Structure 1
Amino acid sequence: MRSWNGQAWKTLCLAILAMFVVSCASTDEEEEGLPTGNRTEQAFYEAAQRQLRSSQWELAIKNLRALEDNFPFGTYAEQAQLELIYAYYRDYQNDAAISAADRFIRLHPQHRNVDYAYYMKGLASFTEGSGLFERFLPTDMTRRDPGSARESFAYFSQLMARYPESRYAPDAQKRMIHLRNLLARYEIHVANYYFKRGAYLASANRGRYVVENFQQTPAVPDALAVMVQSYNLLDMPQLESTSLAVLRTNYPHHPVFRDDGTFNYRYYVGAKDRSVLHWVTLGLFEKEDPRGFDSRELYNAEYRPEDAPLPPEL
């Protein structure tokens, strides 16, 4: 037998190395759930479907993006774009979900399922900031930055205006009611903060803003109470009496009223009523904040978005 020369050994080594690289690539693809060998549009789509069903959101995103990159005009391209919105949403990539929805709306404004993209924009903003921390620890969302709530309300409003008969409209309408309640309550928290700072005019303005812009929300009675208290401290008797009459007529059981029906101006102890001890010690021995106007237990609506079932495909 002739001994192999150097060129033959080099060829053999290159062949073995090539087989090893292909084997590793195939193993990586299998581990990541990517289609091996037959990398067709259908293979990408079926792999993504398996991963969506098993909640493998990151792998599903990879396959859906690969499908769109390689087959932008294919049979599954439009459906893949819709499902990519959903995968981003379930993977808590809310900004990416909104961007993907915007892109779908821009590319397919007349698509039969474009209402889904509008709905998902609202839903992604609705759950912005509601991650693992908020799910396991009690968090008062009315004290959070209301920016996401305002965006979500605007997106749901677009859906309702453009597609009032959409299958997603009923759920969007309920979430809009919840968002209005949340935004109104945020204004009351701000008003209570202004009370602590002794900024009574700013507090009165917040209360009036709720009354004028968030009618029929559970925050309205507290907004009226804020106005009564603020106008009393500002020595504006006419505005005070008007606000008090509206509060007493519409919400006679508000906790701010005493048993004899009179308004309890000591219900909220503001900055002016701090004791001498507070001022001398700079608040070191009176750390408890004054009680704010918050009658949510009495007037809050029953809708709980976290318990509301999503549409079947979600």
Structure 2
Amino acid sequence: MPHAKLSAVCAWMLATGLVFLSACSTTTPDPTAAWSPNKIYAEAKDEVSLGAFDKAVALFEKLEGRAAGTPLAQQAQLDKAYAHYKAGEPVLAIATLDRFIKLHPASPALDYALYLKGIVNFNDDLGLFSSLTRQDLAERDQKAAKDSFESFKELVSRFPDSRYAPEASQRMNYIVNSLAQSEVHVARYYFERRAYLAAINRAQTAITDYQGVPALEEALFIMVKSYDALGMTALRDDTQRVLEKNYPQTPYLVQGFKSRNDPWWKIW
């Protein structure tokens, strides 16, 4: 009887082993196993051009391992971040870029890494850079805009001669304008609800924190109207003089608030 049980156990182990070996034998072979790093990179770039970003990411990851410690592996990491971005995976793109920036602080491609990080956080389909939408960045989440600004700022300050610096500066201006406009949106909201002191405070925040941006014209007008509503005529008149001095052709004093359907960035 013991021998019978032992035989049964052995038979079970043999059968299990055969199943395991059978499973291993059906594993799909890696078609890139014999490819050179350059071939993997070329194939990954082809997938990017075809819009197959998930396939491109997989190939770039293989290349990072195969060519570890080489400039090609660094390039693969940057291209993987771009593929994540184009695939609508900003969190993965930012994580990849942060890893690159940490591991390669002296890379000649560091300016591009900062630029791409700014682009990923920037709402690329809004405002100055698109005519396809009438919603401006000021009406959306501000954290991404601020993160984008910081990336562009670091790029411009550390690499002023970079080919990406001019566009980064332009986008920084857009973001600053948008953040100021965000404060003005809130100020107008309070004004329309007759919370005049709150409207004055938010308009004043925009004027204090942001200099020389288009949104300040409306901020001053909101203050003029709020002081008038509160019967504070001296402050109203002082603010109106500031408005007229800085914006001598302002339409606000004649036409009132601009239509909400006319985005602020169209004045550019």
The interval holding the TM-score normalised by the smaller chain is: 0.7 to 0.9
Aligned equivalent of 2:94: 98
Give the Cα separation in 2 of the matches to 1:292 and 1:202.
Answer: 21
**3-state SS of paired residue (1:86):** helix
Aligned equivalent of 1:201: 197
Is it true that 1:21 corresponds to 2:17 in the alignment?
no
Give the Cα separation in 1 of the matches to 2:110 and 2:265.
Answer: 37
2:37 pairs with one of 36, 41, 49: 41
Aligned equivalent of 2:252: 256
Deviations 1:46-67 (A, max 9, x none): 3212212222111111111122
TM-score (norm 2): 0.80
The structural deviation recorded for 1:145 is 2.2
The structural deviation recorded for 1:168 is 0.3
Between Structure 1 and Structure 2, the one with more helix by share is 2
CA contact (8 A) 2:138 2:178 kept: yes
Is it true that 1:227 corresponds to 2:227 in the alignment?
no
The structural deviation recorded for 1:209 is 1.8
Give the Cα separation in 2 of the matches to 1:297 and 1:73.
Answer: 48
Which segments of 5 or more consecutive residues in structure 2 lack a partner in the other structure?
A: 1-14
- Matched residue count: 248
Structure 1 residues 217-226 or 244-253, which shifts more? Answer: 244-253
Give the Cα separation in 2 of the matches to 1:298 and 1:39.
Answer: 53
CA contact (8 A) 2:123 2:137 kept: no
The structural deviation recorded for 1:251 is 2.0
Structure 1 residues 68-77 or 214-223, which shifts more? Answer: 68-77
CA contact (8 A) 2:136 2:263 kept: no
The structural deviation recorded for 1:293 is 7.9
The structural deviation recorded for 1:72 is 2.6
CA contact (8 A) 1:254 1:295 kept: no
Identity of aligned residues (%): 34
**3-state SS of paired residue (2:74):** helix
Q: Cα 1:129–1:148, aligned 2, differ >3 Å: closer, same or farther?
A: farther
Aligned equivalent of 2:182: 186
Q: Cα 1:246–1:55, aligned 2, differ >3 Å: closer, same or farther?
A: same
1:60 pairs with one of 28, 38, 56: 56
Give the Cα separation in 2 of the matches to 1:74 and 1:197.
Answer: 61
**3-state SS of paired residue (2:26):** helix
TM-score (norm 1): 0.69
Aligned equivalent of 1:51: 47
Deviations 1:140-185 (A, max 9, x none): 4321122211111111111111111111000001111111111111
**3-state SS of paired residue (1:58):** helix
